[in-house]
């Protein structure tokens, strides 16, 4: 068997063209969505991701607000920029690029954000709303994964999902999305403390590998026909991306997201979707136009 490709690049392009139309409609009602980013330090990967987010904004008509601080910036300096973005009316939503430098209290920074401007869906209030099944911006990578599966016709209803990794941006929240009544899946969250990872993964119809551990998911861990999403990003000595999924998994899986070209572009598309949705909510709440 050779897996069918879960093409994140093409799917994100389709979503971006849908969003372009929604941004046009907002502009016609006098509302200009604007995405802010705060990047701290000079990590090349983070710089690349933030640049990509602003390129996407230009494509769909969202305004860009870019803030950068050196890696030596302390908690106070970072929090001052967060307060500034909270107050800036041109910035309708924003993100703080993660990870923040060592020594910075990330949770304190995230908690200081205005939840109404949280474009990443990572503010505790918004994660709480997700738990309570209330409307909230959804975490971008988890939402992108579900959208990618949905748009490729992969059955989620009733599926056994195994997630590997318990990080802030994916593993911690993805189970909340997969277990909503609309998705109706059963989720096992695996991590470095999981005994016999292979046994857990072999039970899964859908595997989400987000551990950041190169080629952790081996072909013998995958049930034939399963959908496998490769989220982890490590780099080899030449700087090339190495995912969490061993290349031979393509011979066993029914569906496979490439890395690059899979979940990454979907993460960016879902960020834009959160910004557009937040602006639409403002219009609906105020009855503008």
Distance between CA atoms of residues 104 and 166, nearest Å: 20
Among residues 94, 77, 65, which one has the least CA distance to residue 41? 77
Q: Examine residue 265 and tell whether it contacts ligand LMY7XDAE (CB under 6 A).
A: yes
* Shortest Å, Cβ 95 to ligand LMY7XDAE: 4
* Shortest Å, Cβ 159 to ligand LMY7XDAE: 23
- Answer positive or negative: Cα dihedral of 43, 12, 61, 109: negative
Q: Residue 181 CB: number of other CB atoms within 10 A?
A: 7
Per CB under 6 A, the list member of 126, 173, 257, 267 interacting with ligand LMY7XDAE is 267
Catalytic annotation present for 32: no
- Answer positive or negative: Cα dihedral of 80, 82, 88, 90: positive
Per CB under 6 A, the list member of 61, 101, 219, 261 interacting with ligand LMY7XDAE is 261
Q: Residues binding ligand LMY7XDAE: what is the number (CB under 6 A)?
A: 19
Q: Examine residue 268 and tell whether it contacts ligand LMY7XDAE (CB under 6 A).
A: yes
Burial classification of residue 3, based on how many CB atoms lie within 10 Å of its CB (0-12 exposed, 13-18 middle, 19 or more buried): buried
Q: Examine residue 169 and tell whether it contacts ligand LMY7XDAE (CB under 6 A).
A: yes
Q: Given the rule CB under 6 A, which of 66-74, 79-87, 192-200, 254-262 is the region that contacts ligand LMY7XDAE?
A: 254-262
Q: Examine residue 121 and tell whether it contacts ligand LMY7XDAE (CB under 6 A).
A: no
Flag whether 233 is marked binding.
yes
Distances (CA, A) of 152 to 4, 6, 47: 10, 7, 30
113: Cβ–Cβ under 8 A, 6 or more apart, which residues?
A: 82, 85, 86, 94, 96, 123
Q: Examine residue 212 and tell whether it contacts ligand LMY7XDAE (CB under 6 A).
A: no
Q: Which residues would be at the binding site for ligand LMY7XDAE (CB under 6 A)? A: 48-49, 52, 95-98, 120, 140-141, 169, 241, 259-261, 264-265, 267-268
Known catalytic residues are 53, 97, 120
Binding residues: 165-167, 233
């Amino acid at each position: 068997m050779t897996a069918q490709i879960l093409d994140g690049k093409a799917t994100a392009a389709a979503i971006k063209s849908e969003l372009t139309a929604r941004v046009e409609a907002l502009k016609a009602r006098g509302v200009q969505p604007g995405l802010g980013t705060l990047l701290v330090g000079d990590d090349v990967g983070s710089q690349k991701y933030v640049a990509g987010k602003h390129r996407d904004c230009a494509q769909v008509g969202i305004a860009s607000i870019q803030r950068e601080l050196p890696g030596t910036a302390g908690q106070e300096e970072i929090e001052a920029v967060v307060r500034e973005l909270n107050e800036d009316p041109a910035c309708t939503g924003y993100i703080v690029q993660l990870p923040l430098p060592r020594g910075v209290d990330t949770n304190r920074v995230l908690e200081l954000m205005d939840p109404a401007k949280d474009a990443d869906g990572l503010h505790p209030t918004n994660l709480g709303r997700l738990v309570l099944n209330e409307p909230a911006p959804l975490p971008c990578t988890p939402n992108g994964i579900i959208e990618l599966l949905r748009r490729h016709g992969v059955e989620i209803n009733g599926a056994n999902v195994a997630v590997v990794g318990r990080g802030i941006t994916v593993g911690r929240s993805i189970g909340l999305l997969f277990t909503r009544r609309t998705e109706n899946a059963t989720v096992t969250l695996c991590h470095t403390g999981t005994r016999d990872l292979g046994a857990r993964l072999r039970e899964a119809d859908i595997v989400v590998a987000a551990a950041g551990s190169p080629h952790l998911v081996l072909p013998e861990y995958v049930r034939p026909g399963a959908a496998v999403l490769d989220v982890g990003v490590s780099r080899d000595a030449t700087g090339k991306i190495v995912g969490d999924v061993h290349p031979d998994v393509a011979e066993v899986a029914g569906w496979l997201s490439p890395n690059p070209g899979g979940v990454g572009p979907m993460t960016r598309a879902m960020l834009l979707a959160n910004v557009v949705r937040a602006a639409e909510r403002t219009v609906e709440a105020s009855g503008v136009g």
